């Protein structure tokens, strides 16, 4: 499992959906943040859009 901290999770989910990444559930909101589960065994769609992460999501951290 990899956790990422992003500024705009809603836009991130839409971008991942457009790359055919499987979103397992809807975004859940808690007092301490928003969360969503994403399934991609190969990580290839993630690697293809990684420059998009750097450009669009100004704060990205792998935990």
- Tell me: the pLDDT tens digits for 15-56? 888 888 889 999 999 998 999 998 866 655 555 555 555 555
Q: Are 54 and 6 in contact (CB under 8 A)?
A: no
Nearest to 2 by CA among 32, 43, 31: 43
pLDDT of residue 5: 81
Q: Which of 9-13, 28-32, 58-62 has the weakest average pLDDT?
A: 58-62
- In terms of residue numbers, what domain contains 42? 4-62
Number of domains in the chain: 1
Residue 13 structure tokens: 């989910």
Q: Are 27 and 12 in contact (CB under 8 A)?
A: no
pLDDT of residue 58: 45
Alpha helical stretches, state H, 1-43: 9-18
Distance of alpha carbon 17 from alpha carbon 32, whole angstroms: 25
Between 42 and 58, residue with greater pLDDT = 42
Q: Are 38 and 49 in contact (CB under 8 A)?
A: no
């Amino acid at each position: 499992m990899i956790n990422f901290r992003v500024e705009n999770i809603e836009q991130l989910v839409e971008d991942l959906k457009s790359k055919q990444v499987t979103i397992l559930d809807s975004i859940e909101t808690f007092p301490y943040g928003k969360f969503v589960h994403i399934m991609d065994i190969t990580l290839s769609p993630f690697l293809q859009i990684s420059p998009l992460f750097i450009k669009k999501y100004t704060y990205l951290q792998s935990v």
